[in-house]
Amino acid sequence: MSTRTLSSATTLALPLSQRLILAVGSCLLGAALIFLAGFAPVDALHNAAHDTRHSAAFPCH
């Protein structure tokens, strides 16, 4: 009986400019999600994120 191991790990080297674009885009997306949930007028969305906002000292009242 023979045993084979499959390796699917590949490394992808991105140039610095693309890495910076991805980092900035990720930060902007995260900030937009936090502030949209924080200032949403919909009560269900407000209540869903309520405890997380308070634990991160995000004002919601």
Each residue's pLDDT tens digit, 5-54: 666 667 778 899 999 999 999 999 988 887 887 777 777 776 777 777 77
Tell how far CA 30 is from the center of its chain.
5
Q: What is the pLDDT of residue 27?
A: 95
Is residue 55 very low, low, confident or very high in pLDDT (cuts 50, 70, 90)?
A: confident
Q: What is the pLDDT of residue 26?
A: 96
Cα pseudo-dihedral 15, 18, 19, 23, rounded to 10: 170
> Is the CB of residue 34 less than 8 Å from the CB of residue 58?
yes
> Is the CB of residue 42 less than 8 Å from the CB of residue 49?
no
> Is the CB of residue 60 less than 8 Å from the CB of residue 46?
yes
pTM (two decimals): 0.52
